[in-house]
């Protein structure tokens, strides 16, 4: 009887231990990252479709499967797309399980996105201001609220299809740092336009490397 009683007491504890790790893993599943590299053609990402595919490829290579990934990018002109409408409802955690925002409103408000949390898909920090090379310019083509710019002045390098000397793209600073303390300098998604075109070299010249944000569509 004593042995049976002891087993009865131990069983709930054993079940708790077996369930807890899987529950934690599910809660901490990566839903956000900065790309560790771009496709290599500057701001020519192959349009939104090509950018999404790049997100999906990087995520799966890092072991994140069973999710649909979307690039945080807006387009302009006819049928313009808002970046904020592409990424689902949230919440989103980085590769270390740290939640950067619980929903779209928080993402575009007081979020937890900093250099320390805006990790790539491998869980690594991305170079920021003060690092060599600086790569804190993240492609977004978006306004502060996650919406597209009006047609006219190019902010998306031809809707992510141009990599030459023409065009420009709006970038944000993943490290929330710039030349001063103004809101644009500290903005993660709308800091300034690239200079000198849309090529890889042009993006590097202003502190970038053709990187962009990826979100799991939830």
Give, for all 218 residues of the chain, the pLDDT tens digit: 444 444 344 434 443 333 333 333 334 599 999 999 999 999 999 999 999 999 999 999 999 999 999 999 999 999 999 999 999 999 999 999 999 999 999 999 999 999 999 999 999 999 999 999 999 999 999 999 999 999 999 999 999 999 988 899 999 999 999 989 899 999 999 999 998 899 999 999 999 999 999 999 97
Does the predicted TM-score (pTM) go above 0.85? Answer: yes
Residue at token pair 């990424």: 87
Angle at 134 between CA 156 and CA 108, to 5 degrees: 50
Phi first, then psi: give them for residue 105, nearest 5 degrees. -65, -45
Beta-strand pair 192-193/170-173 = antiparallel
Q: Domain locations in the chain?
A: 29-216
Which CATH architecture describes the domain 29-216? Answer: Roll (3.10)
Question: What is the Cα–Cα distance from 33 to 55, expressed in whole angstroms?
Answer: 9
Phi first, then psi: give them for residue 166, nearest 5 degrees. -85, 160
Question: What is the Cα–Cα distance from 118 to 95, expressed in whole angstroms?
Answer: 9
Q: Which helix (H) or strand (E) holds 192?
A: strand 192-193
**Contact 38/45 with Cβ under 8 angstroms?**
yes
């Amino acid at each position: 009887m004593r042995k049976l009683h002891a087993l009865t007491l131990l069983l709930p504890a054993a079940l708790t231990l077996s369930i807890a790790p899987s529950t934690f893993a599910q809660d901490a599943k990566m839903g956000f990252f900065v790309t560790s590299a771009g496709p290599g053609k500057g701001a020519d990402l192959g349009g939104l479709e090509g950018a999404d595919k790049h997100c999906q490829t990087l995520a799966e290579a890092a072991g994140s499967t069973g999710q649909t990934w979307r690039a945080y990018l807006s387009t302009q002109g006819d049928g313009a797309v808002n970046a904020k409408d592409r990424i689902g409802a949230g919440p989103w955690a980085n590769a270390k399980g740290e939640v950067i925002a619980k929903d779209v409103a928080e993402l575009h408000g007081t979020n937890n996105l900093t250099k320390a949390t805006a990790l790539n898909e491998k869980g690594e920090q991305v170079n920021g201001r003060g690092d060599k090379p600086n790569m804190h310019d993240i492609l977004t083509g978006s306004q502060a609220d996650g919406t597209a710019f009006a047609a006219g002045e190019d902010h998306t390098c031809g809707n992510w299809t141009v990599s030459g000397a023409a065009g420009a793209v709006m970038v944000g600073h993943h490290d929330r740092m710039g030349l001063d303390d103004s809101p644009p300098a500290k903005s993660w998604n709308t800091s300034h336009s690239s200079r000198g075109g849309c090529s890889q070299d042009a993006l590097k010249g202003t502190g970038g490397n053709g990187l962009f944000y990826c979100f799991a569509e939830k």
